[in-house]
Amino acid sequence: MITCCIRYTLDSHKLAEFEEYARRWPPIIKHCGGDLVGYFLPKEGASNWALALINFESLESYATYRKRLLEDEGARANVAYAAETKCILVEDRTFLRPA
């Protein structure tokens, strides 16, 4: 198993827009083959970042998931929503394995 850790740098004035973006993902992620652990925002401290954690069986299953996302209407609409609202400034991925 691997976990895709997506770290977002956010516009701290657009947290409501990011939360809407995050709320839209769970059914899309499941439909495309990911196992969403969740989206997380800080409770205290800096408010300009968030994390998403998604489990996959392997890097190959992640690659299949990415292909499915490109074909998914809901995924495309949600990515367009984030671009339109400019709530996400930077997005990067790290792949983690259980220790």
Reported as a single tens digit per residue, the pLDDT across 34-67 is: 999 999 999 888 889 999 999 999 999 999 999 9
Helix (H) or strand (E) holding 95: strand 88-96
9 contacts 48 by C-beta, under 8 angstroms:
yes
Residue 4 has a pLDDT of 98
Helix (H) or strand (E) holding 86: none
Enumerate the domain spans of the chain.
2-94
Tokens (6 digits) for 7:
């770290």
CA torsion angle 24 87 89 36 (round to 10): -20
Record the pTM. 0.93
Residue 78 has a pLDDT of 98
Q: Does the pLDDT at position 5 exceed 90?
A: yes
Interval 20-34 mean pLDDT: 98
Residue 30 has a pLDDT of 98
Instruction: Write the CATH number of the domain with boundaries 2-94.
Output: 3.30.70.100
For residues 83 and 55, give the distance between their C-alpha atoms in angstroms, rounded to a whole number.
25
> What pLDDT band is residue 73 in, cutting at 50, 70 and 90?
very high
Interval 19-44 mean pLDDT: 97
Neighbouring-strand partners of residue 49 = 9
